[in-house]
Amino acid sequence: MLDRLQADLKASMMAKDSAKTGVLRMALAAYKNEAIAKGLGPQGTLQEADSIAVFKKLVKSREDSVEQYANAGYADRAASEQAEIAILKPYLPAMLEGVQLEAAVREAIQATGASSKKDLGQVMKALQTQHGGAFDGKSASQLIGSLLN
């Protein structure tokens, strides 16, 4: 992921796309900060799951900002945050949604033998092991809660 990010940053700089360059520079800084936090140093390469977590965090932050700006009546700022999300999303894997997420949750419930809501943690752990960061934790948690009475 680091190589792709650096190549995309270089391409956006060559194309003089200042908006994309700014977002990619910020993403690269977040990536390097996470590498440093993991003890790998600024030139270290993160595991795939860790790099996905960095991008999920960046997207989540912007989604929260979009909501807050929209509620406050700052449509232009919300649109700017949406544009940043559009630049960051391609770095995330395809997310499980709808029927696919439900099938994955049912499979995890069956695999863990979960029978009540107190088993939510086990099911989430099985889902994480099986699908990594390819699902929204909040949506999965709500679905598990509705399936386990």
**DSSP code of 40?**
S
Other Cβ atoms less than 10 A from the Cβ of 141: the count is 16
C-alpha–C-alpha distance, residues 18 and 12, integer Å: 7
Chunked into runs of 10 residues, the chain (149 residues) has average pLDDT values of 90 94 94 91 84 89 92 92 93 82 85 82 84 77 81
Determine whether 74 is exposed, middle or buried from the number of CB atoms within 10 Å of its CB (0-12, 13-18, 19+).
Answer: middle
> Quick one: how far is CA 22 from the chain centroid?
19
Indicate whether this model's pTM tops 0.75: no
Q: Which domains does the chain have, with CATH numbers?
A: 2-91 (1.10.1510.10), 98-147 (1.10.10)
Beta carbons of 31 and 45 less than 8 angstroms apart: no
